[in-house]
Structure 1
Amino acid sequence: MDFALTAAQTQRYEEVLRGTRERLTGDGEFADKWRAAADLGLTGLCVPVEHGGSGLGAFETAICLEAFGRGCPDTGFVFAVCAHLLAGAVPIRDFGSPALRRDLLPGLASGELVAANAITEDEAGSDTSKLSVTARHDGGSYVVDGEKSFVSNGPNADLLLTYASTSPGGGFLGISALVVSTELGGVTRGEPFEKMGLEGCPAGRVSFTSCHVPDSHLLGAEGQGSAIFAHAMNWERACLFAAYVGMMDDQLERCVAHAGQRRQFGRAIGGFQAVSHQIATMKQRLESARLLLYRACWLIDQAGDGQAAATALAKVAVSEAAVANSLSAIQIFGAAGYLVPGGVERYLRNSVPTTLFSGTTEIQREIIAREVGL
């Protein structure tokens, strides 16, 4: 288990970081930023080469997303690309039929298609075995009905990775996964929510009314949806959170620079132990989280599925470090850190949701507890 980056990996990281800083540091419309991210190869990192992607494993995907998260100040937009790739392209890559992969993966890799993950409902957040959206088999299609309540990328999505009940009362084995085109009749995308942070990722409701989805758009077998979702979450909890490792790198760099320049009582505030120790603690949290995340990605590459506890540990470590370090950054910058124009408070607003999405911290601790035998 050697996490020292090779020369090729370092070069890839630097290329993504440089490209992100050149093209994705300013304001802009979602579509324009999406095109820039696609041009940098970010929308197809782990999509197979034969389908237009880079064919990277989890570890190298994470390294690229780490650079993306470090270089792009719009963490919401980074999240949007990650959701598209990890909760959208990965399930199609690993569970779609050969024909479905040929039809959809090239568009996902190129960024021509935007994917969204449609699983959360008003009464099914952490408990995804109790979905009210149904998919009834009818001839050569599934008829989907119901509403999803919080779909990241939903307002802009071309494809919805939709999890629905095909066997009401079947629990874990009663859920199936379908790829639903938003061009189909019966699909309605809601307006974007107003959120505390992650504004760069539009999220909203999606409703289905007698939406006929072709049989060919079923992922895996009927009843395999819960397992497919768990597989996608393994990738998301590992690789997406690498973007927050990158964000914390950027944040720490800014705090160190500020502590060296800002003077009070005749000297730089970095000379006061109250500040220097706070920065040292930020570094400790960051590097501890980075190692757990790298380990989770390495295990996925080595052994595939079955890494739920490793990815849960990584997610908890990164999310808690991101929130704690963001609070420390505001304290170090003082009143300036509280002002929106300075761009320091955005770290906190964008970090708070990490304890909620991809499975709450409480759910991750349950996974970890089961792993140790409780």
Structure 2
Amino acid sequence: MNSAANVTSSSVAEKFRDIAQSCRPDLRAGHFAWDAWRALTGAGLWRLPVPENLGGTGGTWTQFVEAFEAIVSTLRSVGFAMALANQATLIRALLAHGSPAQLDRHLPCLLDGAVGATAISEKGTGTEVRALETRLTHDGNDYRLDGHKYNISHAPNAQLVLVVASCSHHEKRATALVLLDPARDGVGRTAPQETLGVTDLPIGDITFSNVGIGAHELLGEPAAGLKLLMDIASMNRALFGLLCADVVRPFLSDALAYVAARATLGATLDTHQHVQRRLVEIEIGAQRSRWMALSALDQLLSQHPAALANCSIAKLGGARDLAQAALHLLAIHGSDGYRRGALATFVADALAMGSAGGTEEMHSRNIFSQMQRTAAATAAIR
């Protein structure tokens, strides 16, 4: 990936921006935009970074990111942007870590728009991998899966789920990644649950009760499961950071037009320094989040050792900047913004990013852990 990419000059970006613009009427609170999903899939969104021999167009992740930014900055939906990021993360997980048989079985469906989900979070432990209670236990040469996943995006309708579970490996606790068809016996799913924000994204729970799992359904080996998960999750974190920067763009444009037109006592709002300051803070936050996320993606795709920490920083910083931007926009629009409508929905959605993809505490622990590793490595060299 090249972080110098400019989405405004890319033919890929223009193509997907036009599609997203045509699909905007399909976006409604409380309803996932399936027409938009199918239109983007039909235009080849998921095939962009996939090699031709695996059914893709042989493009790059740079092209996908250009398309992603164009879509997110057009559609105005945090929930739909999260779904795009989650699908891309699962596709990359298969490309990077899947076996030939797993690629043959699962990749074509995902490229055709079958929705995938990644199930990490649990009600009592959140996304703290070391405390997960979902268990994978040996059953002869195969396994059994038991547990409960909580607040999982697209849990109600996903056709493939990457389940993260604890297991024993040579009498040590390990992390197993299971590629699961959720339609099988022993898997239960709730209807979409009511949430404060991102109501257009189906979020629910998944339960596993003595579900038979073949050894061939594990993504990688449990001994390396945690390392693989950190790589997979880092992609999601960086894309979440990027969506935080991009999704605010149309709302910032609206605000600029609003303050230029709204006049009080003969002066438009954009002549007031405190209004200018709020708009500038939104712009600074969006630019800061965007370039941090793009740089983190660069590092991840080039396997730079700093990528794990920087992808967490990108997500953590992006969520903070987005929440602050939403509050600035609400203040600028005053009582107009507080009425139920697009801006009020956006404010609730923006707050959801504080916990989506991991809480601040979880990301802070990850960043601190990487800081300790770097300090230890530096001390050893000295």
TM-score by length of 2: 0.89
Would the aligned equivalents of 2:144 and 2:211 in 1 still touch at CA under 8 Å?
yes
Query: Is 1:219 equivalent to 2:219 in the alignment?
Result: yes
CA RMSD in angstroms, aligned pairs only: 2.4
Change beyond 3 A, Cα 1:218–1:370: closer
Tell me the distance in 2 between the aligned counterparts of 1:352 and 1:169: 42
CA 195–222 in structure 1, closer or farther in 2 if over 3 Å, else same? same
Q: 3-state SS of the aligned residue for 1:358? A: coil
Partner of 1:148: 149
* Cα pair distance change 1:22/1:89, threshold 3 Å: same
Q: Secondary structure at the match of 1:166?
A: strand
Q: Residues 170, 351 of structure 1: CA spacing in aligned structure 2 closer, same or farther, 3 A cutoff?
A: farther
Q: How far did 1:244 drift?
A: 2.1
Aligned to 2:103: 101
- CA pair 220-247 structure 1, distance change in 2 beyond 3 A: same
Q: 1:123 to 1:280 in 2, by over 3 A?
A: same
Question: Is the 2:2–2:298 contact (alpha carbons within 8 Å) kept by the matching residues of 1?
Answer: no
Secondary structure (helix, strand or coil) at the match of 1:303 reads coil
**Alignment of 1:51 onto 2:50:** no
8 Å CA contact 1:293, 1:314 repeated in 2: yes
In structure 1, runs of 5+ residues without a counterpart are: none
Letter in 2 for 1:185: D
The amino acid that maps onto 2:211 is C
The 1:279–1:155 alpha-carbon spacing in structure 2 relative to 1, beyond 3 Å, is same
User: Amino acid of the residue matched to residue 61 of structure 1?
Assistant: F
C-alpha contact (below 8 Å) 2:77/2:346 kept by paired residues: no
1:122 aligns with 2:94: no
- Aligned residue runs from structure 1 range 93-242, under 5 A: 93-111=95-113, 113-167=114-168, 173-242=173-242
Percent identity reads 24
Match of 1:363 in 2: 362
What amino acid sits opposite 1:363 in the alignment? M
Aligned equivalent of 1:89: 91
Residue 156 of structure 2 aligns to a residue in which SS?
helix
SS across alignment from 2:168: coil
Residue 205 of structure 2 aligns to a residue in which SS? strand
Structure 2: how far apart are the matches of 1:356 and 1:114?
Answer: 22
Residue 361 of structure 2 aligns to a residue in which SS? helix
Deviates more, 1:33-42 or 1:318-327: 33-42
- Cα 1:167–1:65, aligned 2, differ >3 Å: closer, same or farther? same
Cα distance, 1:250–1:27 mapped onto 2, change above 3 Å: closer
CA shift at 1:151, angstroms? 1.3
Q: Shift in Å at residue 270 of structure 1?
A: 0.5
Contact 1:337 1:345 in 2 (8 A): yes
In structure 2, C-alpha distance between the alignment counterparts of 1:142 and 1:55, rounded to whole Å: 36
CA displacement 1:292-311 (0-9 Å, x = unmatched): 11111121233356511111
Partner of 1:53, secondary structure, is: coil
Structure 2 segments unaligned to the other structure (5+ residues): 376-382
Superposition pairs of residues 336-355 of structure 1, within 5 angstroms: 336-341=336-341, 343-355=342-354
1:325 deviation in Å?
0.5
Q: 2:40 aligns with which of 37, 40, 46?
A: 37
Any idea what the Cα deviations from partners look like across 1:167-196, whole Å, max 9, x if unmatched? 18977x511001010121111111111011
Q: Report the Cα offset of residue 349 of structure 1.
A: 1.0
User: Aligned AA for 1:137?
Assistant: H
| Aligned mates of 1:216, 1:278 — CA distance in 2 | 53
Secondary structure in structure 1 of the residue aligned to 2:310? helix
CA deviations 1:233-271 (Å, max 9, x no partner) are 110111233222211211211111111111111121111
Q: Distance in 2 between matches of 1:210 and 1:84?
A: 27
**Cα deviation 1:11-39 (Å, max 9, x = unaligned):** 21222111111124434764433312312
2:299–2:306 CA contact under 8 A, matched in 1? no
Whole-angstrom distance in 2 between the partners of 1:49 and 1:24: 31
Counterpart-to-counterpart distance in 2, 1:93 and 1:216: 16
1:351-372: CA deviations, max 9, x gaps? Answer: 1121212222222233333444
Query: Distance in 2 between the 1:282 and 1:75 partners?
Result: 17
Letter aligned with residue 297 of structure 1? L
Deviation readout 1:308-358 (Å, 9 max, x if unpaired):
1111221122111100011001111111111123x1122221111212122
Query: TM-score with structure 1 length normalisation?
Result: 0.91
The alpha carbon displacement at 1:140 in A equals 4.8
Q: Secondary structure at the match of 2:347?
A: helix
User: What is the DSSP-based 3-state SS (H/G/I as helix, E as strand, rest coil) of the residue aligned with 2:130?
Assistant: coil
Q: Are the counterparts in 2 of residues 13 and 67 from structure 1 also a CA contact under 8 Å?
A: yes
- Given that residues 65 and 240 in structure 1 are in contact (C-alpha distance below 8 angstroms), is that contact kept between their aligned partners in structure 2? no
Q: 1: distance between equivalents of 2:305 and 2:53?
A: 23
Distance in 2 separating the partners of 1:27 and 1:238: 24
C-alpha distance 95-44 of structure 1, shift in aligned 2 (>3 A): same
Between 266-275 and 353-362, report the one with greater CA deviation.
353-362
Q: Is the contact made by 2:244 and 2:289 (CA closer than 8 Å) also made in structure 1?
A: no
CA contact (8 A) 2:23 2:35 kept: no
Q: Which residue of 1 aligns with 2:379?
A: none
Deviation at 1:45, TM superposition (A): 4.3
